[in-house]
Amino acid sequence: MSEQQCPGSVPPSMDPEAEFMASEQQTANDWELFKENIRPLKRGRNVQLLNHALRSHSQPSLKRSLLHTRRRFIDAIDEYEGEDPLQPWLDCIKWVQESFPTGGECSGLLVIYEQCVRTFWHDERYKDDLRYLKVWMEYAENCSDAEVIYRFLEANEIGQSHSIYYCTYALLMESKNKLKKADEIFNLGIARKAKPLEKLEADYRKFLARSTRKKNIEDESVELENHMPVRSFGTVLAAAGVRNHAAENSDIPRKRMKLQRLDTNRPLSIYSERSTEGNSKPEVMRNNERAWHTLANQVDRNKENTSVPSKWTSYKVPQKIASRTVLPTPSTRIEVFVDEECAGLPPVEEVKSVDPSILQLRQGNSVNLKRETELLKENPLRNFPLNHLR
């Protein structure tokens, strides 16, 4: 089991690790200091870039250069003339992920994902491209409900030859407790001989093991379930189906579900007194949420951000009769503080264009990106023509 390096065969030059170890180079520890602010990536990160990015975000001068670089990447996408137009998009996405470790709204990451997938969704040469599928899947990871994306991919025959599509889709359905659907998905993938087939079959077996175990436990505890009113606090919505899991042998899906449980993309469901009229099951709460979102339109939702300051009429401040200060004339306005990053940018034009290839990213300022990101999280396919959605 243990192995020992053969002394005789150590090459005269040091291996890269020994070299690095011996060198004066230190790895800065920004990553450790800011570890709560770093969104882990499945693909891992380059630590040097990460440290640099973390430092940049706390220094405005460096931040400006960050925005410049981002614009360069976007220009590279526009100017590309080769055979593989997806590549500059991937370069841009990778850079944004490394440079904006929090991955939050100001990174524009979600917007880039969305524009990338929208640019190529009708492109035959990428229908089976694994990289393109991965962009879709990373996009899906960031949205509050990825199911609509997976259905879209199926309807448009994108990525259907890759096991990773079926595995991830089925896992998502399992986390929503739609076990029958998950089972169908696995079977579909296997029937279509998705690659790599061994991984798909292995994941399917693990899924079957989990669901039979769960079924046994559920049979025992179903009585208890029905009598207890359920109070859900946001994250429990996602884990409703997972709650009953006993100790599992396969911890990998559980770890992934753990990540989902801590997922900040799902809006917190705020416990509202009025809605619990005896029936407080998670499903009802979720329906209420969805209803709420479709009722309010964009203007309503943004009212805190866009309301014009008005006269303060609710309180009266007692005025001293003795002295009367000269009131400022209404024409004098308070100068609004503008973030340095926005100062240099041209004013944004709200052009809602039909052509999906126009990049609004270039003109975007942080307010726009934030708004667009929120909208995309809730409705990832909002910019797609409706007749292609099922």
Partner 1 sequence: MASRTASKDIITLRGSAAIVSEFFGYAANSILYNRGVYPEESFAKVKKYGLPMLLSQDEGVKSFISSLTSQLSEWLEAGKLQRIVLVIMSKASGEVLERWNFNIETDSEVVVKGVAREKSDKEIMREIQAIMRQVASSITYLPCLDEPCVFDVLAYTDKDVAVPFTWIESDAKLIKNPQMVKLHSFDTKIHKVDTLVSYKNDEWDEE
Find the binding residues for partner 1 in span 34-53 (CB under 8 A): 35, 38, 40-47, 50
Shortest Cβ distance from residue 175 to partner 1 (Å)?
17
Is 215 a binder of partner 1 (CB under 8 A)? no
Between 54 and 74, CB nearer to partner 1: 54
DSSP string for residues in 269-309: PPP-GGG-SS---HHHHHHHHHHHHHHS-HHHHTHHHHPPP
Find the binding residues for partner 1 in span 91-120 (CB under 8 A): 94
| Number of residues in contact with partner 1 under rule CB under 8 A | 52
Q: Which of 198, 335, 349, 355 binds partner 1 (CB under 8 A)?
A: 198
Shortest Cβ distance from residue 67 to partner 1 (Å)?
24
Between 56 and 360, CB nearer to partner 1: 56
Q: Which x/- pattern over 342-371 shows residues binding partner 1 (rule: CB under 8 A)?
A: ------------------------------
Per-residue buried b or exposed e for 183-200, using 16+ beta carbons within 10 Å of the residue's own CB: bebbeebeeeebeeeeeb
Is 262 a binder of partner 1 (CB under 8 A)? no
Is 388 a binder of partner 1 (CB under 8 A)? no
Place of tokens 């109070």: 231
Q: What is the dihedral of CA 345, 348, 354, 357, to 10 degrees?
A: 10
Shortest Cβ distance from residue 41 to partner 1 (Å)?
8
Is 164 a binder of partner 1 (CB under 8 A)? yes
C-alpha 264/C-alpha 266 separation (Å) is 6
Place of tokens 């137009």: 85
Between 124 and 198, CB nearer to partner 1: 198
Between 249 and 331, CB nearer to partner 1: 249
Q: Which of 57, 70, 127, 134 binds partner 1 (CB under 8 A)?
A: 134
Between 41 and 148, CB nearer to partner 1: 41
DSSP string for residues in 101-160: TT--GGGTHHHHHHHHHHHHTT-GGGTT-HHHHHHHHHHHHTSS-THHHHHHHHHTT-ST
Q: Which stretch binds partner 1 (CB under 8 A): 9-17, 72-80, 102-110, 234-242?
A: 9-17
Q: Which of 13, 25, 314, 319 binds partner 1 (CB under 8 A)?
A: 25
Is 212 in contact with 206 (CB distance < 8 Å)?
A: no
Q: Which residues pair with 195 in a beta bridge?
A: 162
CA angle 103, 236, 31 (to 5 degrees): 30
Phi and psi dihedrals of 188, rounded to 5?
-60, -45
Between 33 and 389, CB nearer to partner 1: 33
Find the binding residues for partner 1 in span 55-84 (CB under 8 A): none
Closest by alpha carbon to 199, among 190, 210, 208? Answer: 190
Is 13 a binder of partner 1 (CB under 8 A)? no
Between 44 and 385, CB nearer to partner 1: 44
Between 4 and 61, CB nearer to partner 1: 4
Between 42 and 243, CB nearer to partner 1: 42
DSSP string for residues in 64-117: HHHHHHHHHHHHHHHH--SS-THHHHHHHHHHHHHH-TT--GGGTHHHHHHHHH
Neighbour-count burial of 217, counting CB atoms closer than 10 A to its CB (0-12 exposed, 13-18 middle, 19+ buried)? middle
Q: Which of 55, 122, 131, 193 binds partner 1 (CB under 8 A)?
A: 131
Q: Which stretch binds partner 1 (CB under 8 A): 55-63, 169-177, 227-235, 251-259?
A: 251-259
Closest by alpha carbon to 77, among 64, 96, 101, 61? Answer: 96
Binding positions for partner 1, rule: CB under 8 A: 1-10, 15-18, 20-21, 25-27, 29, 31-32, 35, 38, 40-47, 50, 90, 94, 130-131, 134, 162-164, 195-196, 198-199, 247-252, 255
